[in-house]
Structure 1
Amino acid sequence: MTADLVYVVAGAALLLAVVLPALLDRYAISAPMVLVAVGLAIGFTPLPDGLPLDPQENRATIEHVTELVVIVALMGVGLAIDRPLELRRRASWGRWSTTWRLLGIAMPLGIGAIALLGWAMGASVAVALLLGAALAPTDPVLASDVQVAGPQTGDHEVDESDELRFTLTSEAGLNDGLAFPFVYAAILLATEGALGLEWVGWYLVGKVVIGVAAGILVGRVLAYVAFRSSSRSLRVAERGESLLALAALVSAYGVGEIAGGYGFLSVFVCAMTFRSAERSHDYQAAMHEVAERLERLLTLFVLLVLGIALSRGLLEALDWRGVVIGVALIFLVRPVTGLIALSPMARREQPPLDRGQRWAAAFFGVRGIGSIYYLAYAAGEADELAADWLWSTVAFTVVLSVFVHGVLASPVMRRIDA
């Protein structure tokens, strides 16, 4: 019976994924909002009886499902970015200035602010730090309304011209992997009681470098095979076999993890590396479409299940502390840290963000599936980090972000575009 219910839920999510984008195009309502609401409604009926919804009993399943959703989204995001990043050209790094500021200033400040708030409310240092780290990354899964539409191809110079959407997209692509060192810091505090040089040398630097290197390696190998192989049967770009996108994301993630790096970084860097080869080729758009469609299907399924879980006890442990943390993150911590990072006094990016774009980039720090993954991962490493309060707080924050950012994304972006 449980397996049958899973099929029913999956079928409903797939159907809604197909019809919702066109139906909601004219309204300030996003598909994630509808899926969570539908899930909430289903949860109050007898239908979900028997579904594996308890995060404590189904932690491993939650971890692997959300992990898959995130890596699929990262592949789509990496393929969608048109602006090149050439490691040996300083000017190329400068055109990513807004991204580096959000990653290097806004994200650490956000982690510290949430961790300090959680600690001040009575959480242990490890729990507070995990909360800050899990809620730190902006989500490439749920932020499609404020991100770039997809790769430009054809016989023209390819570059990303929408600075706001580029900033939000590139930030979401990179900070999922860069939040991992702080998750490990929470795990080490919970299991060993202290942090040492090992955390700095290995978790903060070493695993990042390995993850990036693995992504570059896999991306270059696959690009060579797809576009330049001497064997015609291996040049899949000529046949338009876009399922290579799936092979790329699982290969990059696997190689990155086996090598000891951060697989999330490997997937995004692999997609960026592949995108840099034959940038004007239509095959890039075909691969992006496959990743985008799969991401949409998986995301809406997860959100439907999340909505059901909300009305089936996921928020039972939520208290005023969790509400304060979620509201503070969405309305105060992210906007303030984002504005600090993008402040005119510190800003040197080319082209610059104007005032409205800075406010939008600071506000639209969408939280989502990645936060659930990090919590599930950490909960499997230390019992202290598996508290029901953490699950309730993260779930509340994700849902709050889905509705707040979902309502505001379309009208705000239309006004800025105009």
Structure 2
Amino acid sequence: MDDAFFSFDDYHITLALVGAVVILSRWLPRLFSDREPAAAPLMILFGAGAALLVPDHLQMLPDPREVPRPWELVSELAVIVALFGAGMRIDSLRPWRRWIPTVRMLAIAMPLTILAVALLGVWLGGLTLAGAILLGAVLAPTDPVLAADVQVGPPQEGAEHPVRFTLTTEAALNDGLAFPFVYLGLIIAAEGFSPGAWALQWVGLDIFYRIAVGVGMGWLGGRALGFVLFMVPKGSVLADTGSGVIAFAGVLLCYGSTELVEGYGFIAVAVLGLTLRRIEEDHHFHRRLHNFSESIEHALTAILLVALGTALPMLFADLDWTHLWIALALILLIRPAAGWVALMGTQITHHDRGVVSVYGVRGIGSIYYLCYASGHVEFFNEAQLWSLVALVILLSTLLHGFTVGWAMDRLGDHDPD
């Protein structure tokens, strides 16, 4: 038995610090505003502060460059829950013209962003072609986790503003649609830039097959889960008495089974949420399920953001001025310009178009993609990629987190029908 009464175990110190950082990040903003606090940037900053103040006691939180697997698993779960929740928030899919801005953001803005970031990575960042493509794919999607403040409200709330609808549906679908470009970066890193050897397989498998399977499995999963929750047995359905955990189990089942048949699980769980929401639309269980999944999402996000903050001093050791210029260019120029171009010709007003274009938050999804890629192929620029992605997440949460309330308050009027 240890003779020391106060052992100050690193594990317990880590738990205490994480708890203190989350509480402070949620509580301190209340001293200055009664609005929902922009806690994400504060969690990262306070986590970094804790790492600088007590560096020897935070060794329980692994360096994502050396031990990416825990980061990958936690971020993957957070994104899965967030994507399902984004799908569940959409009260009405119609009229179909509401989807025009979303389709344009996915089909035009995201590829433009990937291309621009990749070119900037090669030209300014000195990255390899594979690393630059991966960087573009990692940073292009609007994050479904940290973009909650710009999304529509919970189920059955109604009055979904076109800006919020567009950002919600974009965030729900673009993570899965960015995956083909992640695979493209992995292929080029492993086989070199020789499209004749792999282009047909990439287009056929990584684009058409995986996307189609993701959509199909999500729809089937939503119908099956709706059957279990709302239809059988009659008079004693699970939705009347069960907790949200059974639907959460359905999310895991849908995601895992989709990945087993080589589909995109991220697309599947988003479609699962959209499909399930269409079954017994007025049932109170939808709201309960949303609240349950949101609680899980917030808990996982808090852990990841604090952990990212503690890793910042290590990750920023490899920063240089080119990283800052690339990060600022993405947040202030590339994403806004790509979004503006994509939405030209739509019925969204100029002001609202600007909000959609600007508020593409980067966050947890970027952590997952980078961990996933580094676990499959060793990239020459991996340290630079981590430094740059961490900087983009920090700047995005700062700039977007502290201005989103002001922007959302100034959205134009709309017709809820």
How does the TM-score come out when normalised to structure 1? 0.90
Structure 1 counterpart of 2:45, which letter? Answer: A
Equivalent residue of 1:261, what SS? coil
2-11 vs 22-31, which deviates more?
A: 22-31
Separation in structure 2 between the aligned mates of residue 372 and residue 102 of structure 1, nearest angstrom: 22
Structure 1 counterpart of 2:298, which letter? Answer: R
Separation in structure 1 between the aligned mates of residue 16 and residue 235 of structure 2, nearest angstrom: 43
Structure 1 counterpart of 2:394, which letter? Answer: V
Equivalent residues of 2:30, 2:37 under 8 A apart: no
Separation in structure 1 between the aligned mates of residue 243 and residue 93 of structure 2, nearest angstrom: 24
Summarize the Cα distance change of 1:49–1:385 in structure 2 as closer, same or farther, 3 Å threshold. Answer: same
Aligned to 2:142: 138
Q: Kindly provide the CA deviation profile for residues 69-125 of structure 1, in whole angstroms up to 9, marking residues without a partner as x.
A: 11111111111111226xxxxxx5432111000000000000000001111122111
Structure 1 counterpart of 2:336, which letter? Answer: P
Aligned to 1:171: 170
Summarize the Cα distance change of 1:23–1:256 in structure 2 as closer, same or farther, 3 Å threshold. Answer: farther
Aligned to 2:391: 396
Matches within 5 A, 1:6-405: 6-12=14-20, 15=23, 19=27, 26=34, 30-46=38-54, 48-84=57-93, 92-121=95-124, 122-152=126-156, 161-193=160-192, 194=194, 195-230=198-233, 235-311=237-313, 313-344=314-345, 347=346, 352-384=347-379, 387-405=382-400
238-247 vs 12-21, which deviates more?
A: 12-21
27-36 vs 71-80, which deviates more?
A: 27-36
Equivalent residue of 1:52, what SS? coil
**Does residue 4 in structure 1 map to residue 12 in structure 2?**
yes
Separation in structure 2 between the aligned mates of residue 21 and residue 246 of structure 1, nearest angstrom: 31
Equivalent residues of 1:148, 1:165 under 8 A apart: yes
Equivalent residues of 2:128, 2:381 under 8 A apart: no
C-alpha displacement at 1:8, in angstroms?
2.6
Separation in structure 2 between the aligned mates of residue 381 and residue 252 of structure 1, nearest angstrom: 23
21-30 vs 406-415, which deviates more?
A: 21-30
Separation in structure 1 between the aligned mates of residue 268 and residue 209 of structure 2, nearest angstrom: 13
**Does residue 416 in structure 1 map to residue 415 in structure 2?**
no
Summarize the Cα distance change of 1:242–1:58 in structure 2 as closer, same or farther, 3 Å threshold. Answer: same
Equivalent residue of 1:380, what SS? helix
Structure 1 counterpart of 2:111, which letter? Answer: P
Q: CA RMSD in A?
A: 2.0
Separation in structure 1 between the aligned mates of residue 26 and residue 337 of structure 2, nearest angstrom: 37
Separation in structure 2 between the aligned mates of residue 239 and residue 17 of structure 1, nearest angstrom: 35
Summarize the Cα distance change of 1:198–1:10 in structure 2 as closer, same or farther, 3 Å threshold. Answer: same
Separation in structure 2 between the aligned mates of residue 294 and residue 17 of structure 1, nearest angstrom: 18
Number of matched residues?
A: 399
C-alpha displacement at 1:151, in angstroms?
0.8
Equivalent residue of 2:379, what SS? helix
Summarize the Cα distance change of 1:284–1:388 in structure 2 as closer, same or farther, 3 Å threshold. Answer: same
Separation in structure 2 between the aligned mates of residue 18 and residue 335 of structure 1, nearest angstrom: 29
C-alpha displacement at 1:256, in angstroms?
1.1
Equivalent residues of 2:29, 2:37 under 8 A apart: no
Summarize the Cα distance change of 1:239–1:246 in structure 2 as closer, same or farther, 3 Å threshold. Answer: same
Summarize the Cα distance change of 1:385–1:262 in structure 2 as closer, same or farther, 3 Å threshold. Answer: farther
Equivalent residue of 1:96, what SS? helix
Structure 1 counterpart of 2:405, which letter? Answer: S
Separation in structure 1 between the aligned mates of residue 91 and residue 40 of structure 2, nearest angstrom: 26
Overall identity of the aligned pairs, in %:
41
Equivalent residues of 2:362, 2:397 under 8 A apart: yes
Q: Kindly provide the CA deviation profile for residues 168-187 of structure 1, in whole angstroms up to 9, marking residues without a partner as x.
A: 11100000110000000000
Equivalent residue of 1:188, what SS? helix
C-alpha displacement at 1:241, in angstroms?
2.1
Equivalent residues of 2:22, 2:43 under 8 A apart: no
Gaps of 5+ in 1: 86-91, 154-158
